Amino acid sequence: MPTPKSNRAPVGSLQCENTTLNLLKANDFVAKAIRQRLPDMLVLNICSSPGSGKTTLMQETGRLLKGKLNMAVLVGDPETERDAIRMKEAGINALQIVTGGMCHIEAQMILQALDHIDLEGVDILFIENVGNLVCPAAFDLGEDYRVTLISCTEGDDKPKKYPRMFLTSELMLVSKSDLLPYLPFSVDAVTQDARDINPDLEVITISSLKGEGLELWGDWLMKKVKEKKRNLIMS
Ligand SMILES: Nc1nc2c(ncn2[C@@H]2O[C@H](COP(=O)(O)OP(=O)(O)O)[C@@H](O)[C@H]2O)c(=O)[nH]1
Ligand SMILES: [Mg+2]
């Protein structure tokens, strides 16, 4: 079974006198349907600010996994199909979800997109979320794990400013490590801040451009795919 999201604090809640209305119940219901529909596939929700390197990482992951695992990507952006085009040019099975200005993907969009992408033989379905560290944290997309990139160009103070994203993630990728020599960014400080929020958070430092950490990322993916398939057999 996927890791329970027990560390996810309730989101989308509205306090009214003595009642709490869960505004995201409908989304969670659809997320559950997605999990039931994809029992044999690892589903990852990739989040970050705009420009942290999600699409570039998907392109490099395609190269990394070639001949080992089959991947597909659903990619969300408020406008344009540019990211899906970039991935298709890299030989990746990708489908763009244009959210029409919305700052996050909702589970219903994923459920609908599943009818328009060929998932035959796919081991990992990546969802590249809309670039935003706030809203996507509130929407369960039926993923097994949430992976958040924080690039060293963003500054190492972000986890405590956007805590829910780091609280609800299982892995933090510190990206663009090739730029570390030029920036006042501490991997130790960002890791400490993020783990103050979520002590279980795994951390890998990567550079999609220079290749640092990509082997570790590949190993993490392999391990999670194996775990998911093993749990399916045992269930
Ligand atoms: N220096 C450096 N630049 C990167 C790296 N990964 C991505 N970029 C650049 O960062 C910019 C945004 O990358 P992109 O993948 O589109 O980010 P996204 O908006 O999160 O999907 C592009 O100009 C990339 O070439 C990296 O590892 N190192
Ligand atoms: Mg992108």
179 close to ligand 1 (CB < 6 Angstrom)? yes
Shortest-distance ligand to the CA of residue 59 = 1
205 close to ligand 1 (CB < 6 Angstrom)? no
Smallest CA separation from ligand 1 atom 8, residue: 53
Angstrom distance (rounded) from CA 232 to CA 169? 23
159 close to ligand 1 (CB < 6 Angstrom)? no
What is the predicted pLDDT for the residue at 103? 93
Distance 18 CA to ligand 1 centre (A): 47
Angstrom distance (rounded) from CA 173 to CA 171? 6
3-class secondary structure, 155: coil
Q: What is the CATH number of domain 13-234?
A: 3.40.50.300
Angstrom distance (rounded) from CA 57 to CA 41? 20
Angstrom distance (rounded) from CA 204 to CA 210? 15
* Ligand 1, pocket-test mutation among 56, 85, 154, most atoms within 8 A of CB: 56
191 close to ligand 1 (CB < 6 Angstrom)? no
What is the predicted pLDDT for the residue at 4? 43
What is the predicted pLDDT for the residue at 219? 98
Shortest-distance ligand to the CA of residue 211 = 1
55 close to ligand 1 (CB < 6 Angstrom)? yes
pLDDT of 9 over the 60 cut:
no
Distance 46 CA to ligand 2 centre (A): 10
Which atom of ligand 1 has the smallest separation from the CA of 179?
1
Write out pLDDT tens, residues 89-117. 999 999 999 999 999 999 999 999 999 99
What is the predicted pLDDT for the residue at 2? 43
Query: In the chain, where are the structural domains located?
Result: 13-234
Mean pLDDT, the chain, whole residue set: 92
Angstrom distance (rounded) from CA 127 to CA 109? 11
Angstrom distance (rounded) from CA 219 to CA 212? 13
Write out pLDDT tens, residues 164-223. 999 999 999 999 999 999 999 999 999 999 999 999 999 999 999 999 999 999 999 999
Decide: 92 and 131 in contact? Cβ < 8 Å: no
In the predicted model, what is the mean pLDDT of residues 148-175? 97
pLDDT of 15 over the 70 cut:
no
209 close to ligand 1 (CB < 6 Angstrom)? yes
